[in-house]
Structure 1
Amino acid sequence: MTRNDYSAALRKLAREQDRVATVAQLAEAGVPQRLVRERCRPGGRWQRPLPRVAVLHSGPLSAAQRSRAALAFAGHPLTRAMITGAAALRLHGVAAAALPPGLPVVDVLVPSDRRIRTHTWVRVHHARALPAPDVVDGVPVAPVVRAAADALRESIDPEWARDVVQELVVVMGVPAGIVAAELGEAVLARRPGVAALLESLANEARPPAAGPLARALVARSGLRQPLWRPALHLDGAFVGSPDAYWARDGLVLDLGPGGGRARWEALGLRVLRVAPAALARAPGEVVAALRAALEGGPYGPLERITALPGAM
C-alpha cells in the first residue's frame, strides 16, 4: 500500500478531530499498523497518551485534545460518553474552573453498563441515565450543573468549590435551588461551606412575587410573549437563565439581583434591568421600556443562541 492510499484520509481525520484518533480509526483510514507503531515509539512523530488512542503529533496536548483523547478512550460516540467535571466547566467558560486543583484529570461520564474504568488521567463516572449533552467546539459536554456536581464531588479544595458555585449562581444565573438539587444531600454534607453559600444566595434571590407579576404585566400589555426562565446556550455552552427572553429580538428581562447580566450584554443582547418593585409601582413605565426595547431590536448573535423553555 502506498502513502497516497491513505494520506488524504489521514489528513481529513486529523483536521476533523483535532489530530486525535483511535487506533481503529487509523486502521479504517488505511494507515498500516506497522506505521502507527513506528510513529508512536518514544521519540516518534506521534504519541499514545491512552490505550487505543493516538495523537498525531509529539508535543504537549492542548486542553481540547485531552478532552477528545479521553472521549476516544471511553469509546465515544458508541458509548454516548461526554466530558464532565472540571474539564467540562472549563469548556462551558466557567472562569473559576480555569485552574482546577490537583492533577489535570479529565472526567468522562458514560452509561452504567459500559465496562470502562478510570485510567491514569481519565476518571470515569458511570450513570444509569445520561443527561442530554451540550456541544462545545464539537465536544459533547455534560450540562453545566451536572458538570459542577461531578467536579465538586471529587474536589478537595473548599475555596475552589465555593468559587465555582458562586459563579454558577451569581454570574451564569443558575438558580441556587437547581444547583443544590443537583449536588444532592451527600455532596452538600461534605461541603458545608457550599451548602451555606447556596442558602445565602437563595435568600438573596429575587422576591417570589416578581416572576408572576412580570408575567401578568406582559400578558395585559399586548406585547409578544417571551420565554420565561429559559436556559440560554451560545454555540452549545450554557450562558444563563434570565427571567424572560424574547428569542426573535435578543431581549432579556432581568429582575435581578446578580444573574448573568454582564455576560448577556457582552454577547450583544439587549438587557432590560427592572427592579421588582417597579412592576407594581410603575407598570406603565415598564411596559413602555419593553416596547421600546423590542422595537429597537433585534440584538445579538441570534443564530448562535438556543433558548430552551424553562419551568412555567
Structure 2
Amino acid sequence: MNHNTPLSPRPLHHLSDSRRRVMTAAQLRAHGVSAAETDAQCRPGGPWQQVLPGVYLLHPGPPTSEERLHAVLAYAARETSSGVPAQPGGAEPERPPYPEAMITGLAALNLHGFAAVPPLPALEHVDVLVPRPRRLRSAGCARVLRTPDLPTPQQRTGLPVAPVPRALADAVADLVDAAAVGRLLTEAVRGGHCEPAAIVRELNQARLLSRPHVVDAVDALLAEGRALAEDRLYRMVREYGLPDPVWNVDLRLPGGPHLGGLDAYWPEHAVAVELDTRAPRQGHRQEDDALWSEYVRKREHLERLGITVVHITPKKLRDAMAQQATVVRTALMASVDRDPAACVLVLPR
C-alpha cells in the first residue's frame, strides 16, 4: 500500500453526475484512483484533462460554464483530510461543499441574476473569495481574492456565492467605465438585491470611493435609492390604510427657527416619519458624524415640542413594510394620550 491508495476505495459511479465531471486529485485518490492512473488518463488524446492545478475534468472537450465554476471552487476550497467531505451514514452528497471558498465578482452577479453582466462563457476569469491566511495563488481561469472577513455565502444553482454587495465591490474594483459601474449599482437597487447603504459600506471597505468614476456612480445610486425608499413609503401608507399625511414638508416655529425637513407628517397627531438614507463614506468620518448628530438634534428638538418622530430605513421598508406600518399606526393611535404638541408651521419642501 502506498500514499496514493485509499483505505476503502469507492467507485466513481457512486457519485452524482456533477460530482463525476469535476474532481480534485485528493477526491480521486479517495475513490481508488492513483496519481499514476490520473496522469495516464490525462495524456494527450486521453479521456480526462487537468483544468486547474490538482483539479480534473473527467471528459474531453471544453468545460461547460457549470463545470468551470465547480473547478474554480474545487481549486480554491480547503480540502478535508480525505479529500471527500464526510457524510452522515457514508452517503454521497448531491453537490460537494466548498469550505472557505465562494464565487464573487462578475460571475457571482451573473448567478444572482444580473442582466448588466457578461454571460459566464464570456468571462476571461472567475473570481473566487478565500480567507486572507490561505496560501493560494491565482491559476488558469481562477482568480483568487483574499479577505480578512469571509462573508456568509448564499446558494445560487447549488454553488456558494458572495452576497451582492461584496460581489459588486469585487466587480467594480476591475471596472474603469463609469457607465458600466453605474449600470451594476442601479440594477442592484432597482432589482431589489440590496440597499444603497450596504453597497456603499462594501465599496468603503474595498477603498474604492477614492475613484472619481465610482463616486459619481455612488451619488447617482444614493439618489436612486432615496427615490425608491420614498416610493415604498407612499405605498406603505396606501396599502396599509394609514391616514394620508402631508408629504415632504419643513417645520418651523412661528416667528422662530427652522426645525427640519420631514418625509411625512400628520399634523393632527403630531407624528412624523423620517427616512434614514445615510450611507457612510470613506474619508468622510467627520461629515458622517455631523450628519448623524444633526439627525439626533432634530429628533430631540421635535420630541421636546411634543412631536413623535419615527425613523425608518429603506431596508426595513423593503423587508418589513407591515411591521413599519404597525409602528407608525401605533404612534398615531398613541397621540390621543399625549399632551398637545407645540404649534408649528408646516411648509412645503
Q: TM > 0.5 between the two?
A: yes
In the other structure, the counterpart of 1:129 is 149
Gaps of 5+ in 1: 221-240, 247-251, 256-273, 284-312
Q: Which amino acid aligns with 1:210?
A: L
Inter-CA distance 219–35: structure 2 relative to 1 (3 Å threshold): farther
**Which residue pairs with 1:74 in the alignment?**
76
Q: Do the aligned residues in 2 keep the contact of 1:107 with 1:125 (CA within 8 Å)?
A: yes
- TM-aligned CA deviation for residue 54 of structure 1: 0.4
- Verify: 1:153 aligned to 2:227, yes or no: no
Deviations 1:17-57 (A, max 9, x none): 26111011001001232321122122221110110000111
- Whether contact under 8 Å (1:101, 1:155) holds in the other structure is no
Q: Secondary structure at the match of 1:113?
A: coil
Partner amino acid for 1:156? V
8 Å contact from structure 2 (residues 65, 121) kept in 1: no
5 Å-filtered alignment, 1:51-130, equals: 51-76=53-78, 79-99=99-119, 103-130=123-150
Deviation at 1:96, TM superposition (A): 1.2
Greater mean alpha carbon deviation, residues 205-214 or residues 180-189: 205-214
2:200 to 154, 176, 180: 180
- Mapped to 2, the partners of 1:39 and 1:197 lie a distance apart of 54
Deviations 1:172-198 (A, max 9, x none): 252222212221273133234422321
Residues 1:197 and 2:220 are matched in the alignment: yes
Structure 2 gaps, min length 5: 2-7, 81-98, 244-314, 333-349
Tell me whether 1:171 sits opposite 2:191 in the alignment: yes
Q: Which residue of 1 aligns with 2:39?
A: 37
> Cα–Cα, structure 1 residues 46 and 127, in superposed 2: closer, same or farther, change >3 Å?
same
Per-residue deviation at 1:207? 2.9
Q: Distance in 1 between matches of 2:209 and 2:121?
A: 19
One of 47, 50, 72 as aligned partner of 1:48: 50
The alignment's TM-score, normalised by the length of structure 2, stands at: 0.56
Bigger shift: 31-40 or 81-90? Answer: 31-40
Instruction: Determine the C-alpha separation between the residues in 1 that align with 2:222 and 2:319.
Output: 27
**Matched residues, percent identical?**
34
- Cα distance in 2 for partners of 1:117, 1:177 equals 32
Compute the displacement of 1:115 (Å): 0.4
| C-alpha distance 175-186 of structure 1, shift in aligned 2 (>3 A) | same
Residue identity matched to 1:140: P
Q: Helix, strand or coil for the counterpart of 1:206?
A: helix
Instruction: Give the TM-score taking structure 1 as reference length.
Output: 0.62
In the other structure, the counterpart of 2:293 is none
Q: Of 307, 311, 317, which residue of structure 2 is paired with 1:243?
A: 317
Cα distance in 1 for partners of 2:20, 2:78 equals 15
Q: Residue deviations 1:222-280, cap 9 Å, x none?
A: xxxxxxxxxxxxxxxxxxx783568xxxxx87x9xxxxxxxxxxxxxxxxxx9xxxx99
Name 1:206's counterpart in structure 2. Answer: 229
Q: 1:182 to 1:18 in 2, by over 3 A?
A: farther
- What is the aligned residue count? 228
Residue 155 of structure 1: how far off its partner (Å):
2.5
Alpha-carbon distance in structure 2 between the residues aligned to 1:33 and 1:209: 59
Find the aligned partners of 1:144 and 1:55 in 2 and give their Cα distance. 29
CA distance, structure 1, for counterparts of residue 73 and residue 203 of structure 2: 24
**What letter matches 1:132 in structure 2?**
T
Go from structure 1 to structure 2 and tell me whether the alpha carbon gap of 1:158 and 1:209 turns closer, same or farther (over 3 Å shift): closer
* 1:232 equivalent in structure 2: none
Match of 1:302 in 2: none
Q: Classify 1:66/1:100 alpha carbon distance in 2 versus 1 (closer, same or farther; 3 Å).
A: closer
Deviations, residues 273-311 of structure 1 (Å, cap 9, x unaligned):
x9xxxx99xx9xxxxxxxxxxxxxxxxxxxxxxxxxxxx
